[in-house]
Amino acid sequence: MNDLPEKFDELTGREFLERIWAGPGASPLGILLNMRLIEVGDGSATFEAIPSRKFYNPQQRCHGGFAATLIDSALGCAVQSKLGRGVRYGTVELKVNYIRPIFEETGRLTCAGKVVHAGRRMSTAEARVIDAAGKLYAHGSVTFMVFDP
Instruction: Give yes or no for residue 50 binding a second copy (CB under 8 A).
Output: no
Instruction: Give yes or no for residue 82 binding a second copy (CB under 8 A).
Output: no
Instruction: Give yes or no for residue 115 binding a second copy (CB under 8 A).
Output: no
Considering beta carbons, is residue 84 or 97 the nearer one to a second copy?
A: 97
Considering beta carbons, is residue 16 or 81 the nearer one to a second copy?
A: 16
Instruction: Give yes or no for residue 1 binding a second copy (CB under 8 A).
Output: yes
**DSSP string of 49-82, one letter each residue:** E---GGGB-TTSSB-HHHHHHHHHHHHHHHHHTT
Report the residue from 12, 36, 50, 64 that binds a second copy according to the rule CB under 8 A. 64
Show Cβ contacts of residue 19 under 8 Å, excluding neighbours closer than 6 positions: 11
Strands 35-40 and 88-98: unpaired
Closest CA to 77 of 131, 15, 138: 15
Instruction: Give yes or no for residue 7 binding a second copy (CB under 8 A).
Output: no
Contact range with a second copy by CB under 8 A, out of 39-47, 95-103, 106-114: 95-103
